[in-house]
Every structure is written in structure tokens, then in C-alpha cells.
């Protein structure tokens, strides 16, 4: 009998322990469910309001610009893009960081880096093309790195559909000119004449082709080029420059009287009268010297 009682007591104790464990498990399950529900709710709230929060961060960075805190503003825009690269305003944020470095901080290397990141991460964005233009212009006009400028300008042309393609082609020729590669400069300017016959830069480009020929001592070709500018665009300012330059070429070719006649015809209309008068005196002196020699 005692054994039976003991068995019953043990069985009751086992059932009690099992019920206690069941309640404990249910409690843990409920806690876990509550935690997960809270996390999901918080995550849902975060993602639902993410654009609003990012727009607020964007506006905060813009206020930093307005307050003159340019370094902090550039860092804020760049950080916004880095943390949320798929945010709708991310390309604009990175582009603004580049503009701040370029226009306000004059930190051109950092500006180039940000512009290139726009082109790399958002190649289909309208800002990608604008970024490449800024990179090319910074290399050429600010850093005077003409070789890199040429690469950037050429990439713009390769992308196509750029409204100022004639300017880009001109800049390529001008960059080669600054590198003293006059032959390639002339090639690029010839491409300009062929591809952009309606460009307002046409007189200047034709003039510069003649200049490259002059610098390479191709005097006949240079004279022909200057005469073309004078005949085709007589009212353009570059026609005056072409007349002055033609006089210089003719002087080198020992056609001194023809040179002097052109120079005297420029008196009163050439913008740099002092240089013109010096040139006239020089040619007259050469003519007088030549007469004495005869």
C-alpha cells in the first residue's frame, strides 16, 4: 500500500512539473512573439517613413550650405548617398557634395572624385552627363591637366546626345593646342568644321587651324587659312585677328610690302593699337634695310 501511494505521489509531481514547463514554454513563446511583432512594427514604421527621414536629412544638409558650413554640408550629402545609395535623392546628394567642393571649397580633386562617383553609380542619370562635363572642365581650366581633360571630353562625346557637343569638340582641340601638339589640335579642329558646320564657333576654329599651320611653319597653308577667315566672315572679330596674323605670315615669307599694306589697313580698327604700331614700325624698318642692301 505504501508503494502504491508513493507511485501516485510521484505521478502527480511529474504531471505538475510538466504543466509548469508547459506554462514556461508558452510564456517564452508569447515573449518571443511579442518581441518579433515589436521589431516588425518598428521595421515597418522605419521603412514606411524612410523617405521622409532622408528628405529631412537632405534639407538639413542644404541648410548647412546656407549657413556657410560647406565642409559639414559636403560630408552630410556624401554620407547620405553612401548610407542610402538607392534613395531617390542619392544622385543629387552626391552631385551637391561635388559642387560644394568645387564652387565653395575650391577643393577640385575632391570635387572630381564626387563627380566621378555620380557617373559610376548612376550612369543613366541626367546628372552623370553633367558630372562628366564638370570633371572635364575642372581638369582643363582649374587643374590644367589637359591630358585627363581630353579623356573626359572624349567620353562625353562617346555618350552622345549632348547639347553642347560642338563646345566639347572645341575643348579637345584647344587642350591638344595647350599640350603643344599642334598637329592633333588641327585634326580635332578639322573634325569640328566637318561635324558642326552651323556652330557659331566656326570662324574661331578656322582661324585656329591657320594658327596651328603657322606654328608648324607651314606658311603657305597658314596664309590660305587666314585668307579664308577674312573672306568668309569679314565682320567677325576673328577676321581682324586673321588679317593681323596674315601680315605676320607674309612678313616671314619676305612679302614685306604686302604685310605692311595689311597692317596699315588695320589702323584705327585693330583692338590693340600699340602692338599694331610696333609691328608697322618693325616691317617698315625691314623694308628700309632691304632697300639699303640693294
Q: What is the structure's pLDDT at 53?
A: 80
Instruction: Flag whether 67 is in a domain.
Output: yes
C-alpha–C-alpha distance, residues 206 and 201, integer Å = 9
C-alpha–C-alpha distance, residues 186 and 172, integer Å = 10
Cell of 18: 510538466
Q: What is the structure's pLDDT at 162?
A: 82
Helix (H) or strand (E) holding 267: none
- List the chain pLDDT tens, one digit each, 294 residues: 566 665 566 566 666 666 666 555 555 545 554 455 444 444 444 344 547 788 999 999 999 999 999 999 999 999 999 999 998 999 999 999 999 999 999 999 999 999 999 999 999 999 999 999 999 999 999 999 999 999 999 999 998 878 899 999 999 999 999 999 999 999 999 999 999 999 999 999 999 999 999 999 999 999 999 999 999 999 999 999 999 999 999 999 999 999 999 999 999 999 999 999 999 999 999 999 888 766
Instruction: Flag whether 149 is in a domain.
Output: no
Helix (H) or strand (E) holding 188: helix 182-195
Domain that holds residue 96: 57-122
C-alpha–C-alpha distance, residues 175 and 145, integer Å = 9
Instruction: Flag whether 275 is in a domain.
Output: yes
Contact call for residues 74 and 100 (beta carbons, < 8 A): yes
Q: Shortest CA distance to 269 belongs to which of 231, 241, 247, 229?
A: 241
Cell of 156: 562625353
Question: Of 67, 96, 122, which residue is a domain's last?
Answer: 122
Instruction: Flag whether 76 is in a domain.
Output: yes
Number of domains into which the chain is organized:
2
- Which string of DSSP letters, residue by residue, matches 39-96? HHHHHHHHHHHHHHHHHHHHHHHHHHHHTT-HHHHHHHHHHHHHH-TTSTTHHHHHHH
Contact call for residues 252 and 240 (beta carbons, < 8 A): no
Contact call for residues 188 and 172 (beta carbons, < 8 A): yes
Q: What is the structure's pLDDT at 46?
A: 38
Residue 272: CATH number of its domain: 1.25.40.10
Q: What is the structure's pLDDT at 2?
A: 62
Question: Of 105, 122, 139, which residue is a domain's last?
Answer: 122
Instruction: Flag whether 19 is in a domain.
Output: no
Q: What is the structure's pLDDT at 293?
A: 67
Distances (CA, A) of 87 to 51, 130, 150: 7, 20, 33
Q: Give SS3 for 128.
A: helix
Instruction: Flag whether 178 is in a domain.
Output: no
Instruction: Cite the beta strand spans of the chain per DSSP E.
Output: none
Instruction: Flag whether 5 is in a domain.
Output: no
Instruction: Flag whether 256 is in a domain.
Output: yes
To which residue does cell 501516485 refer? 8
Amino acid at each position: 500500500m505504501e508503494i502504491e501511494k508513493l507511485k501516485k505521489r510521484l505521478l502527480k509531481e511529474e504531471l505538475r512539473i510538466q504543466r509548469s514547463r508547459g506554462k514556461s514554454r508558452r510564456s517564452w513563446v508569447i515573449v518571443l512573439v511579442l518581441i518579433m511583432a515589436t521589431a516588425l512594427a518598428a521595421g515597418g514604421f522605419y521603412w514606411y517613413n524612410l523617405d521622409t527621414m532622408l528628405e529631412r536629412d537632405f534639407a538639413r544638409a542644404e541648410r548647412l550650405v546656407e549657413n556657410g558650413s560647406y565642409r559639414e554640408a559636403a560630408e552630410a550629402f556624401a554620407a547620405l548617398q553612401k548610407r542610402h545609395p538607392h534613395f531617390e535623392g542619392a544622385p543629387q546628394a552626391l552631385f551637391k557634395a561635388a559642387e560644394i567642393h568645387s564652387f565653395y571649397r575650391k577643393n577640385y580633386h575632391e570635387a572630381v572624385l564626387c563627380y566621378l562617383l555620380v557617373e559610376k553609380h548612376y550612369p543613366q542619370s541626367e546628372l552623370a552627363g553633367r558630372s562628366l562635363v564638370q570633371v572635364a572642365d575642372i581638369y582643363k581650366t582649374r587643374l590644367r591637366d589637359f591630358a585627363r581633360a581630353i579623356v573626359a571630353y572624349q567620353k562625353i562625346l562617346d555618350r552622345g546626345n549632348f547639347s553642347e557637343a560642338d563646345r566639347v569638340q572645341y575643348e579637345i582641340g584647344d587642350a591638344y593646342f595647350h599640350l603643344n601638339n599642334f598637329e592633333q589640335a588641327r585634326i580635332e579642329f578639322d573634325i569640328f568644321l566637318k561635324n558642326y558646320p552651323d556652330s557659331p564657333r566656326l570662324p574661331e576654329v578656322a582661324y585656329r587651324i591657320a594658327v596651328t599651320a603657322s606654328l608648324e611653319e607651314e606658311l603657305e597653308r597658314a596664309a590660305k587659312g587666314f585668307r579664308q577667315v577674312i573672306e568668309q566672315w569679314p565682320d567677325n572679330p576673328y577676321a581682324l585677328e586673321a588679317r593681323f596674323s596674315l601680315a605676320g605670315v607674309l612678313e616671314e615669307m619676305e612679302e614685306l610690302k604686302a604685310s605692311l599694306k595689311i597692317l596699315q589697313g588695320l589702323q584705327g580698327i585693330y583692338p590693340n593699337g600699340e602692338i599694331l604700331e610696333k609691328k608697322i614700325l618693325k616691317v617698315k624698318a625691314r623694308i628700309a634695310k632691304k632697300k639699303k642692301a640693294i
